[in-house]
Amino acid sequence: MQPITNPPNPHAHSLSPLTSIPPYITASITPHHIPTYPTPQSFDAGAPRHYKMEFPTFDGKEDPLEWLNHCEQYFRGQRTIEEDKVWLASYHLKGAAHTWYFMVERDCATVTWPQFKELCNERFGPPLRTNPLGELARLRFRTTVDDYQERFSSLLCHTSPLAPDQQVQLFTAGLPERIKIDVELMNPQNLQQASRLARAYERRSQVIDGAQQPQQTGRAPRPSGRPPVLTHMTDNVAKNTPQQPPTQSPVPFKCLTPAEMGVIGLPST
């Protein structure tokens, strides 16, 4: 028994590749006419990724270091090209900062982003420090660890890069002795660990001081057998009592003998 096969189609004919296709169609699908579509890698580097990000503003009333850092973060997030950074940052200047950039733009033909940051720091930054590392080493503790940490970080941003162990040594040098000794014994490896330990030991010191306070000042006096002397009442009584003139002591007298009476001419009894 022979297997069943499909009957041949009399209308079918063999087609060789591209032989039965009209020439005007084959010309349109040659490799150099194949359309190409953009890939994620071919997008422009300046295309924004996060449309809801808000650009920070600056009015020149504080240190521009924080604002410039926010600008850098915005530029990285939005893929801002280098040529657009200056005008985008200057568009968000207000008050004295906007007036300052108007004069910069008038005097300078073109300003690059590194030049803009340098000029902004010179105009609105803290006074020029000839030895910022020395000021960091002389920084001393005032009230709390948080206050000390904030002032330390502000000075550290204006110094040249330091190694982690150097940052730890400078930070612990300004702490009070009750905190510094414990922090140094823990041997922190970076500034974050040293700051966390300093806050922990500060809290422990506050708890110990608070527990000792009632024992020193809140101790009740020991009762005695005599009633308490009210000094303020006795003082008031003494002030209101009229003063009397001093009395003269009586003159002492002596009984005379008959012989003595005869001497002074008195009759004897």
pLDDT value of residue 210: 80
CA–CA dist 100, 4 (Å, integer): 93
Paired tokens of 174:
């300004």
For 61, the token pair is 């009333």
How many residues are given for the chain?
269
Closest residue by Cα to residue 175 from 166, 187, 184: 184
- CA-CA distance, 255 to 233, in Å (whole number)? 49
Measured distance between the N- and C-terminal CA atoms of the chain, rounded to whole angstroms: 198
Q: Give the pLDDT of residue 191.
A: 93
Say how far apart CA 114 and CA 109 lie, in whole Å.
15
Give me the amino acid identity at 147. D
pTM for this prediction: 0.47
Provide mean pLDDT across the span 11-32.
49
- DSSP letters for the chain: -PPP-PPPPTT-----TTTSS-HHHHGGGSGGGS-----GGGS-TT--S-TTPPPP-B-SSS-HHHHHHHHHHHHHHHT--GGGHHHHHHHTB-HHHHHHHHHHHHH-S---HHHHHHHHHHHHSSPP-S-HHHHHHT----S-HHHHHHHHHHHHTTSPP--HHHHHHHHHHTS-HHHHHHHHHH--SSHHHHHHHHHHHHHHHHHHHHHHHHHHHSPPPPP-SSPPP-HHHHHHHHHHSPPPPPPPPPPP--PPPHHHHHHTTPPP-
Look at residue 107 and tell me whether its pLDDT is greater than 60: yes
Mind listing the pLDDT tens digit for each residue in 224-243? 555 555 555 555 555 566 66
Please give the average per-residue pLDDT across 92-119, as a whole number.
Answer: 90
Across the range 213-231, mean pLDDT stands at: 56
The answer to which of 9-23, 160-174, 195-209 has the lowest mean pLDDT is: 9-23
Q: Stretch 197-211: mean pLDDT, rounded?
A: 89
The residue written with tokens 């296709």 in the block is 21
Question: 160: which residues sit within 8 A by CB, 6+ positions away?
Answer: 133
Q: What is the pLDDT of residue 25?
A: 47
Report which of 118, 126, 193 is spatially closest to residue 154, judged by C-alpha positions.
Answer: 126
The string of pLDDT tens digits covering residues 133-185 is: 888 888 989 999 999 998 898 888 878 889 999 999 999 999 999 999 999 99
